[in-house]
């Protein structure tokens, strides 16, 4: 649906969704989404910027006293993408909506 509305690839949409959700802060007690649906390779999502995305995720999600294990961190990434896609589905009804968001 978002691909049709925006004309962007799922990979770009997931990157934007991740960043939108990270802006909202930690997931807290929000339940993680099920693993049904589209599957993607993490490197395809993050490319050469894997360390940057993981650092941002750790900055938002890590507790200073108890750093998160990689498995938990990747689950949180999935949760952030899910939350971001939900926000995008409400905000982005046409290609110009995403341009307005990115330019702010």
pLDDT (tens digit per residue) in 74-103: 888 889 999 999 999 898 888 888 888 777
Per residue, what are the HEC states of the chain?
CHHHHHCCCHHHHHHHHHHHHHHHCCCCCCCCCCCCCCCCCHHHHHHHHHHHHHHHHHHHHCCCCCCCCHHHHHHHHHHHHHHHHHHHHHHCCCHHHHHHHHHC
> What is the pTM for the complete model shown?
0.82
Inside any domain, residue 33: no
Range of the domain at 79: 2-25+45-103
The pLDDT of residue 3: 83
Look at residue 37 and tell me if it is in a domain.
no
Domain count, the chain: 1
Q: Is residue 10 situated within a structural domain?
A: yes
CATH code of residue 64: 1.10.1220
Is 34 within a domain? no
């Amino acid at each position: 649906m978002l691909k049709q509305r925006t004309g962007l690839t799922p990979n770009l949409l997931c990157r934007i969704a991740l960043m939108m959700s990270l802006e909202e802060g930690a997931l807290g007690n929000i339940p993680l989404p099920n693993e049904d649906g589209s599957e993607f390779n993490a490197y395809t999502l993050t490319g050469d910027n894997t360390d940057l995305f993981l650092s941002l995720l750790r900055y938002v999600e890590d507790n200073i006293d108890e750093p998160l294990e990689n498995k938990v961190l990747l689950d949180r990434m999935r949760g952030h993408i899910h939350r971001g896609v939900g926000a995008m589905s409400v905000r982005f009804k046409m290609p110009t909506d995403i341009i307005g968001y990115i330019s702010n």
